[in-house]
Amino acid sequence: MNNACCFTGHRDIPVSQKPALQKRLEEEISHLIHQGVAMFLAGGALGFDTMAALAVLKMKAKFPHIRLILVLPCREQTRGWRNDDKKIYDRILRRADKVVYASEYYDRGCMQKRNRYLVDHSGVCVCYLAKAKGGTAYTVRYAQEKGLRMINLAFPASCP
């Protein structure tokens, strides 16, 4: 699993930060590829997950051997999403190399189950952790407990 990287991050990212974050994300993915990482696991949520999945798909043009694995909480994840967001999600879903569902249907534990799967199948975690609460903070703590190498793109250095 040292050749696998998962992503976790907040859904809400300030619009002013998105261009710089996208650039850092692409640079980090390229750096990881050069270190032998070939599998990238993304959770399919809005915000950072979507940015990460799109960045991996963009990098596949240059590095066709890499794989995007979508690890989704349930099949109905996009229920209640805006149509524009659903279109992007569907495009990512069609282009992913593999899709794993943590649960068939939404239940109280499916998000946490998805997050644990991401970590349990990775050696590196690229995160966007700007606040220490919520699902992202839980996933980062779990990844740290599991000994994953952490890279936090919300700050200049690795996770605090």
- Reported as a single tens digit per residue, the pLDDT across 10-23 is 999 999 999 999 99
pLDDT value, residue 39 = 98
Quickly state the pLDDT bin for 100 (edges 50, 70, 90): very high
Mean pLDDT to the nearest integer, 108-113: 94
Quickly state the pLDDT bin for 157 (edges 50, 70, 90): very low
Q: Which domains are present in the chain?
A: 4-152 (3.40.50.450)
pLDDT value, residue 160 = 42
Model confidence, pTM: 0.93
The average confidence (pLDDT) of the chain is: 93
- Reported as a single tens digit per residue, the pLDDT across 57-90 is 999 999 999 999 999 999 999 999 999 999 999 9
Q: Which amino acid is at 132?
A: A
If phi > 0 it is left, if psi is from -120 to 50 it is alpha, else beta; for residue 136 that is alpha
Alpha carbons 137 and 122: distance in angstroms, whole number = 17
Identify the burial level of 147 via C-beta atoms within 10 angstroms of its C-beta, where 0-12 means exposed, 13-18 middle and 19 or more buried: exposed
pLDDT value, residue 159 = 43
How far, in Å, are 68, 75, 129 from residue 3 at the CA level?
12, 27, 22
